[in-house]
Structure 1
Amino acid sequence: MTSLPQASWTKRDDLAQLIAALGADNARYVGGAVRDTLLGKDIHDIDLATPLLPAEVIDRCREAGIRTVPTGIDHGTITAVLPDGVVEITTLRRDVSTDGRRATVAFAQEWKEDASRRDFTINALYAHPETLEISDYFGGVEDLANGRVRFIGDARERIREDHLRILRYFRFQTRFGDDWDEEATDASRDLASTLKGLSRERVGWELLNLLALPDPSVTVFKMRELGVMQEVLPECTAREAEKLAELVRQERDHGVAPDGMRRLAALLPPVPTVAEAVSARLRLSRKQRERLACVARRDSKDGENPLALAYYEGTDCARDRVLLTRGDPAPLEGWEAPELPLKGGEIVERGVGKGPQVARILQAVEKRWVEERFPDRGRVMELLDQELASG
């Protein structure tokens, strides 16, 4: 039987206290923490499964002095607030009914019954908190070792239960897969139209998380081939998919970390109205919308003076635009926009009457100052003399 390797998180004192409160036989580590530890990756979230009902979980934690939050109590999830990080505890479940968007669940007592409702074999791995022995009901350990992302049971049935699993499949395939699973891709192609009925926020979240992975470009081409991308982002043509591949190469060449919003911009034509429409459809935040619109205003000259671009548009947008136009973003690293060493009052002191003329002169000086890459005050005063002399 496979066992979970010893990892720093499995030795946490606060986690041991939680396990003691629940009872070791009433708890199993499950999902991402088990999967990623088997792969030797860092983990970010710890999930526990338990046959205990939510009320009993709360009572046992209270008796042990552990604070809990009923974050998803209707679906059996309680969050334990521990000194070294929160842990989500979910009662074993089985599906009563599904409609592709949401599920009605009932609590269960069998670990395998809970495992059978999960999406992929590699996500249905349970580890005993003391022995660290892994319960693997569907061959997930072998799939993980072979780089195979496979649905539990019939792929079409699992997608009909939750249409978002199509996008989850492509995200997990990008992270963990080597070869495409034919059953999964066929089912994704045949049921791609079901994605239209999903919440746009859920689609946007999945899409951005997929795009933030190290290299999603091959996946995006595959999604287009299967007709999946056309359902969630019809603006992404073959040309835009190639733009994403170019961007990934640019990021690697210049040592720039992946960014989902930058990659989303690459998948759209550089047209502000298109960016606005996509932002509204995916229910992006105001900050995300502004960034996408800014990147959509890019042109081929953006790489000529990246600092000037950053001065007017901000560093994030400038970096995106420079990379997307095959420029070098290195000058932007660690750079902070300086303040123009000239005030309107100084122009008034030179004999210019207060009003729009002062603003015009100030803007003209600032424009030349930026074009000359932010020279010192002495040069700024020369620029002011020239503006005053010409006007």
Structure 2
Amino acid sequence: MERLILPQAAWRDRAGLAALCDALGAAQGDARFVGGAVRDTLLELPVQDIDIATRLTPETVLQRLKDADIRAVPTGLAHGTITAVLPDGPVEVTTLRRDIATDGRHATIAFTDDWKDDAARRDFTINALYADPLTGALFDYFGGLDDLAARQVRFIGDPLQRIAEDHLRILRFFRFLARFGDVADPAGIAACTARANDLMALSRERIADELLKLLRVPGAATIVPMMIDNGILAPVLPEITSANRLIRLISLEKEAGIAGDPIRRLAALLTNQPALGEAIGARLKLSIANRKRLMLALDSTPPANPRALAYRIGVEGAIDRLLLHGAAKNAIEQLGLLSNWGPPRLPISGGVLVERGIDRGPDVARTLRQIEDQWVAENFPDDARLTSIIDAAVDQALRATRN
């Protein structure tokens, strides 16, 4: 039977990659491309990250790269991973491994020279595809090519065992299903449903990272409802009970030509309570900026003037509020007002008001705020109108002082 070959792709011509493969003994069968680069090339998708699996020990890899004058960073030496720094970006090189013991969060591994052993410890069949760097010959030990053709995400071996090894695979299963899958493997879904409580053993940072990756892809509109129906998120995010607003949001993002944003989509899964946004953000250990963004997004005050809103809370926050709380038709129109627009700076300072006779302190702050409020309410008028606003505010402040 004719052997399948990895199609040619731009990433295979990256500067320094051929020299790296040569140093790792590709000609002797000691190194192969693996994982996402192989999978995405077969799907005709752009490739960002390149991973190489090798039969060489980590110490040998380090020496080979040193001899080839390729910079090497021992990023995960205990687990056999070394990063080769090439002109067009890093390449991760990992020695073949097999699991000795796992606890759902960490694995104790041993190095091996058996390609099938290495493939067997991976999560899904479509991620366990290898390719010879020189000939492009493909190596598939668990039916990944057939699953890729069927757009099916399937665990390697027993799904319950794979999940027991690494609980995060529950969320990864649905993320990969959202990105690549048309066929939902019943055994995989059943295993994830049965072991959903295992997610509680994971750090909230790992959960947040995987969940936000899932929410970033268009297929989230189909997969998140499936996760809710099967109780996947309930152990760690019981507040998420409906995906209706997420589905609406993704549709609006597409109609408006706006890239899907995971924080905005997370907000769509929550009820309109800013305090809840703060609580969820804290639970997931999100950055302070993203916690604040969740809170602002969950303020359901109807957005009236989009530019005024953007001035107060930022363009990103205004887009969130328009998409989440605006009427669908109006939201698209109002988003147009923010396209290629940035909030201006108020072209006056308190010093100008002091020069015009207003006392320093609360009087200046109050007058400046009055001027700003009027300027924003009138949609940032030109200098002539701003001068009139300033004159009126100063006159009012001086009269109040005299009285």
* TM-score bracket relative to the smaller structure: over 0.9
Residue of structure 1 in register with 2:47 after alignment: 43
Structure 2 residues not aligned, in runs of 5+: none
For the residue of structure 2 that corresponds to 1:232, the secondary structure is coil
Deviation at 1:295, TM superposition (A): 1.6
Matched, 1:178 2:182: yes
Residue of structure 1 in register with 2:291 after alignment: 289
Aligned residues: 387
Letter in structure 2 aligned against 1:10: R
Deviation at 1:298, TM superposition (A): 3.7
Residue of structure 2 in register with 1:251 after alignment: 253
Deviation at 1:244, TM superposition (A): 0.6
Residue of structure 1 in register with 2:338 after alignment: 332
Deviation at 1:186, TM superposition (A): 0.6
8 A contact 1:220–1:229 mirrored in 2: no
Structure 1 residues not aligned, in runs of 5+: none
Range with greater deviation from structure 2 (286-295 or 14-23): 286-295
Residue of structure 1 in register with 2:235 after alignment: 231
Residue of structure 1 in register with 2:353 after alignment: 347
Residue of structure 2 in register with 1:280 after alignment: 282
For the residue of structure 1 that corresponds to 2:39, the secondary structure is helix
Letter in structure 2 aligned against 1:265: A
2:140 to 128, 133, 136: 136
Query: 1:297-342: per-residue Cα shift (whole Å, max 9, x none)?
Result: 242x21x211111111111111111111232322112212112122
Query: 1:236-268: per-residue Cα shift (whole Å, max 9, x none)?
Result: 122xx1111111011011100011111111111
Deviation at 1:215, TM superposition (A): 3.4
For the residue of structure 2 that corresponds to 1:78, the secondary structure is strand
Deviation at 1:344, TM superposition (A): 2.0
8 A contact 1:21–1:61 mirrored in 2: yes
Matched, 1:370 2:370: no
Range with greater deviation from structure 2 (276-285 or 23-32): 276-285
Residue of structure 1 in register with 2:150 after alignment: 146
Residue of structure 2 in register with 1:269 after alignment: 271
Residue of structure 1 in register with 2:321 after alignment: 321
- Cα–Cα, structure 1 residues 51 and 359, in superposed 2: closer, same or farther, change >3 Å? same
Normalising by structure 1, we get a TM-score of: 0.96
Residue of structure 2 in register with 1:201 after alignment: 205
Matched, 1:7 2:9: yes
Letter in structure 1 aligned against 2:44: G
For the residue of structure 2 that corresponds to 1:42, the secondary structure is coil
Query: 1:346-381: per-residue Cα shift (whole Å, max 9, x none)?
Result: 323333222211211110111011011100121122
Matched, 1:76 2:80: yes
Whole-Å separation in 1 of the counterparts to 2:24 and 2:188: 37
For the residue of structure 2 that corresponds to 1:230, the secondary structure is coil
8 A contact 2:150–2:183 mirrored in 1: no
Letter in structure 2 aligned against 1:251: E
Deviation at 1:388, TM superposition (A): 4.1
Deviation at 1:232, TM superposition (A): 2.9
8 A contact 2:15–2:87 mirrored in 1: no
Whole-Å separation in 1 of the counterparts to 2:352 and 2:64: 71
Matched, 1:60 2:60: no
Whole-Å separation in 1 of the counterparts to 2:352 and 2:139: 76
Residue of structure 2 in register with 1:379 after alignment: 385
Residue of structure 1 in register with 2:225 after alignment: 221
Letter in structure 2 aligned against 1:156: L
For the residue of structure 2 that corresponds to 1:35, the secondary structure is helix
Normalising by structure 2, we get a TM-score of: 0.93
For the residue of structure 1 that corresponds to 2:337, the secondary structure is helix
8 A contact 1:215–1:248 mirrored in 2: no
Letter in structure 1 aligned against 2:380: F
Query: 1:67-93: per-residue Cα shift (whole Å, max 9, x none)?
Result: 100000010000001112111000000
Query: 1:269-293: per-residue Cα shift (whole Å, max 9, x none)?
Result: 2212211111111111222222222
Residue of structure 1 in register with 2:35 after alignment: 31
- Cα–Cα, structure 1 residues 84 and 349, in superposed 2: closer, same or farther, change >3 Å? closer
